[in-house]
């Protein structure tokens, strides 16, 4: 058995993306007994190029720890089983006593927020409409909502007693109670979180508009962009070619029905496992 050293990960928040993982990680950053890798996702166990750097590279992320009792980190890629199938096995080899925290939310709402995030960050690398993105890039947007599928390797390697599942909906209603549950699971003292500390909200962000996509289709625009100073380019994109997100976009009725049928069995399996009623998430 590999025992955690003084600067080794003892717990990990594995995702899911856009399920309040940033919020929980920020709460843990503030906790005096937990050292979290600050504002970073090491993705050591998921990305081959990072894993090839070895444990010493990974453990260096925890070197600044001083008086904290536990070390941990959060990387959303760890709950993307199809893309990173070796993650749980690598994590077990590193520390078989690892504790796993898994944040989840309504699986279709998560898809919508993931598209908003990716469209904001990546522009036209992502389709400009939600329906197109889901149909053309299901591996990008649907897979992380298959919670039961993504959780299975962790249950196999660590067992249910070393996995804590928390729901974003519960966090929204009573964030302190959810964080108390996380603290109890980790075996650290309960700690009062900062009020209003929800991180990385989709509403209020600025995302590329349809005008942005139209401009990118102009012949020769790539050369023109290279000639424009970076500051001016960013100003034009922010002021003229983006829009503020004021409400969540909606899927078409047909596509939502398809997603509901696809995701319902796994959603219900997770809800059953967690003792939640099956109508906790209304998928239709």
The per-residue pLDDT string of the chain (284 residues; one tens digit each, 9 = 90 and over) reads 334 446 899 999 999 999 999 999 999 999 999 999 987 899 999 999 999 999 999 999 999 998 899 999 999 999 999 999 999 999 999 999 999 999 999 999 999 999 999 988 888 889 989 999 999 999 999 999 999 999 999 999 999 999 999 999 999 999 999 999 999 999 999 999 876 555 556 555 555 556 555 545 566 555 555 555 656 545 544 554 455 666 789 999 999 999 999 999 999 999 999 999 999 999 98
Q: What is the DSSP letter of 13?
A: E
Backbone angles phi, psi at 155, to 5 degrees: -65, -40
Looking at residue 196, what is its pLDDT?
A: 58
Residues 56 and 50: their CA atoms lie apart, in Å, by: 11
- 83 close to 77: Cβ distance less than 8 angstroms: yes
- 23 close to 111: Cβ distance less than 8 angstroms: no
Using only the alpha carbons of the chain, give its radius of gyration.
Answer: 20
Looking at residue 22, what is its pLDDT?
A: 94
pTM assigned to the model: 0.84
Residues 282 and 126: their CA atoms lie apart, in Å, by: 27
Bond prior to 16 in cis (omega within 30° of 0): yes
Looking at residue 194, what is its pLDDT?
A: 77
The distance between the two most distant Cα atoms of the chain, rounded to a whole number of Å, is 60
For the structural domain made of 11-201+253-274, what CATH number should be given? 3.40.50.300
- 72 close to 13: Cβ distance less than 8 angstroms: yes
- 121 close to 158: Cβ distance less than 8 angstroms: no
Instruction: Write the DSSP string, 190-247.
Output: --PPPTT---S-STT-EEE-HHHHHHHTSTTHHHHHHHS-HHHHHHHHHHTSEEE--S
Domain ranges of the chain: 11-201+253-274, 206-244
Looking at residue 191, what is its pLDDT?
A: 96
In angstroms, how far is the first alpha carbon of the chain from the final one?
46
């Amino acid at each position: 058995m590999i025992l955690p050293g003084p600067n080794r990960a003892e717990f990990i928040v594995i995702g899911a993306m856009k399920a309040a993982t940033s919020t929980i990680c920020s709460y843990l950053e503030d906790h005096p007994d937990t050292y979290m890798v600050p504002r970073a996702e090491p993705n050591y166990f998921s990305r081959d190029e990072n894993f090839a750097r070895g444990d010493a590279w990974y453990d260096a992320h925890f070197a600044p720890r001083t008086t904290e009792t536990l070390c941990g980190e959060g990387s959303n890629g760890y709950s993307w089983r199809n893309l990173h199938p070796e993650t749980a096995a690598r994590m077990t080899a590193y520390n078989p006593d690892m504790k796993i925290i898994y944040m989840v939310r309504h699986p279709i709402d998560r898809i919508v927020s993931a598209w908003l995030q990716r469209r904001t960050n990546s522009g036209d690398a992502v389709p400009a409409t939600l329906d197109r993105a889901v149909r053309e890039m299901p591996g990008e947007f649907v897979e992380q909502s298959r919670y039961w599928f993504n959780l299975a390797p962790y249950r196999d390697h660590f067992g249910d007693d070393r996995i804590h599942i928390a729901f974003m909906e519960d966090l929204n209603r009573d964030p302190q109670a959810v964080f108390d549950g996380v603290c109890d699971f980790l075996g650290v003292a309960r700690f009062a979180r900062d009020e209003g500390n929800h991180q990385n909200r989709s509403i209020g962000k600025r995302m590329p508009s349809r005008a942005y996509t139209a401009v990118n289709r102009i012949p020769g625009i790539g050369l023109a962009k290279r000639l424009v100073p970076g500051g001016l380019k960013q100003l034009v994109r922010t002021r003229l070619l983006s829009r503020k997100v004021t409400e969540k976009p909606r899927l078409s009725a047909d596509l939502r029905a398809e997603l509901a049928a696809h995701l319902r069995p796994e959603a219900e399996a997770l809800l059953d496992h967690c003792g939640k009623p099956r109508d906790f998430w209304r998928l239709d």
